[in-house]
Amino acid sequence: MAPLGIISGVVLLQGKGIFDNLEEKEMTTEFGRALVFSSDAIAFIPRHGKDPRRHILPHLINHRANIKAFKDLGVKEVISVNSTGSLRRNLPPGTFVVPDDFLILTETPTTVGGRAFHITPRLEEEVRQKWMVAAKDCGIDVINGGVYWQTQGPRFETKAEIRMMSQFADLVGMTMASEAVVAQELGLSYASLCSVDNYANGLGERDLTVEEILQHARRNADVVLKIVTRYMERRK
What pLDDT, on the 0 to 100 scale, is given for residue 213?
Answer: 65
Evaluate whether 38 touches 149 at the Cβ level (below 8 Å). no
Helix axes 210-235, 125-137, angle to 10 degrees: 90
Model confidence pLDDT, tens digit, residues 36-82 = 999 999 999 999 888 777 888 999 999 999 999 999 999 999 999 99
pLDDT of residue 116: 56
* pLDDT of the residue at 112: 82
Average pLDDT over residues 213-228: 79
Least confident of 118-127, 187-196, 197-206: 197-206
Q: What is the pLDDT of residue 222?
A: 84
Higher pLDDT, 110 or 98: 98
| 78-102 residue pLDDT tens | 999 999 999 999 999 999 999 999 9
Full-model pTM: 0.91
Q: Largest Cα–Cα distance of the chain, in whole Å?
A: 50
pLDDT score of 13 more than 60: no
Average pLDDT over residues 113-124: 79
Fold classification of 4-235 (topology level):
Rossmann fold (3.40.50)
Q: What is the separation, in whole angstroms, between the first and last Cα of the chain?
A: 9
Per-residue pLDDT at 7: 95
Beta bridge partners of 143: 97
Instruction: Tell me what pLDDT residue 120 has.
Output: 87
* Side chain identity, residue 93: P
Give the single-character DSSP code of 50: S
| Whole-angstrom distance, CA of residue 94 vs CA of residue 197 | 6
Give the C-alpha separation, 18 to 20, whole Å. 6
Please check the confidence at residue 114 and state whether its pLDDT lies above 70: no
